[in-house]
Amino acid sequence: MMYEFENIITAYQKNKQQGKPSVLATVVALEGASYRKPGVRMLIDVDGKMMGAVSGGCVEKEIYRQSQSVFEVGIPKVMTYDGRFRLGCEGILYILIEPMELSQNFITAFRNSLDRRESVHLQSYFTKKDQELDRSYATLVRFTNNTSYTIGDQLNTATPQNMDGLEIFKQNLPAALRLIIIGAEHDAVQLCSFAALSGWEVCVIATDSDPKELVNFPGAKSVINTRAELFDMNLIDDRTAVMLMTHSYSKDLKYLLRLEQATTISYIGLLGPAKRRERLLNEIMEQRPEVSEAFFDTIHGPAGINIGAETPQEIAISILSEMLSVFRQQPIMPLKNKKGRIHS
């Protein structure tokens, strides 16, 4: 997940400012089943403080113990964790542990990539040899402009050295899911908070007649005070969901008419009963006879899944669950009814 990697980079910067060395642990291969899959990472500082997790909590202490040799000599290593005898997951994890030393050029390139909502490609080079220190092990981070950096040094590089015989774990991190909340009442604050905790990039749209500030919405990346006619359509891409919660029929209608002009949109959520939704859709068809069926397919009203939600917090969980099911293209069902693996 991009937001997890962003949190790791932010934690690294704080450690760097405090003069604390850091190492990065990445699950690069898995045999069998595990709580999390290859590509999960965590940062560890020299004092044992961690950012992120690679399991449900069982593996992290062993990774910290194994990381001591990496702190001492500054050379990456691979550790093996066999959960068949210690966990209920029945899997063998191969974890690359490498020192982190990121240049300011890397930090700038990464932050610019986040702002442009670009994907980042990572390649980890390793072998399945437990506890063997090897300078050829490394993770390469490549940006869309084809600049690339290794995690362990400050050099702009194409590939690590001595690649012969190394395995490669490849991962593409797309931009974080974005949620645009149109409306600034109490329930919008709750949805913003839950979405941010889940790693969404949240933008709140308030009215210019009743402006709000970022401090009013913990976790939000931005708050924009505007009106429907001036709404910036460039905020919407194929990883963006929109939740209309102005509690005003006329404002919702204006925003729907504006959103109908979007070239790509995956999810639009509406509050209120189905009768209100039908009234809105009928009015859109009257004002925009050429409206496409595809646009109507993106509209979910009432937004959310049926979990008996009553409080604003429960409603936020219901709405986010439906949004995730749309983006991940997964049917909504109890996991006990799912055949095969729980996670794809």
Residue 155's pLDDT is 46
Residue 162's pLDDT is 58
Beta pairing, strands 22-32 & 167-173: unpaired
Closest C-alpha among 57, 59, 64, 29 to residue 43: 64
For 307, half-sphere exposure in the C-beta direction (CA atoms, 13 angstrom radius) is 18
Give the DSSP letter of residue 91: E
pLDDT tens, N- to C-terminus, the chain (344 residues): 899 999 999 999 999 999 999 999 999 998 876 667 889 999 999 999 999 988 766 788 889 999 999 999 999 999 988 876 655 556 788 999 999 999 999 999 999 999 999 999 999 999 987 667 788 899 999 999 888 999 986 444 545 555 667 899 999 999 999 999 999 999 999 999 999 999 999 999 999 999 999 999 999 999 999 999 999 999 999 999 999 999 999 999 999 999 999 989 999 999 999 999 999 999 999 999 999 999 999 999 999 999 999 999 999 999 999 999 999 999 888 888 877 766 55
The CA–CA distances, whole Å, from 296 to 169, 277, 291 equal 40, 11, 8
d(CA 91, CA 58): 13
Residue 59's pLDDT is 85
With a CB cutoff of 8 Å and minimum separation 6, the contacts of 293 are none
Q: Which amino acid is at 156?
A: N
What token pair was written down for 10? 């932010």
Closest C-alpha among 148, 171, 170 to residue 160: 148
Residue 336's pLDDT is 83
d(CA 118, CA 121): 10
d(CA 278, CA 281): 5
With a CB cutoff of 8 Å and minimum separation 6, the contacts of 87 are 34, 35, 55, 58
Please say whether the beta carbons of 222 and 282 come within 8 A: no
Give the DSSP letter of residue 165: T
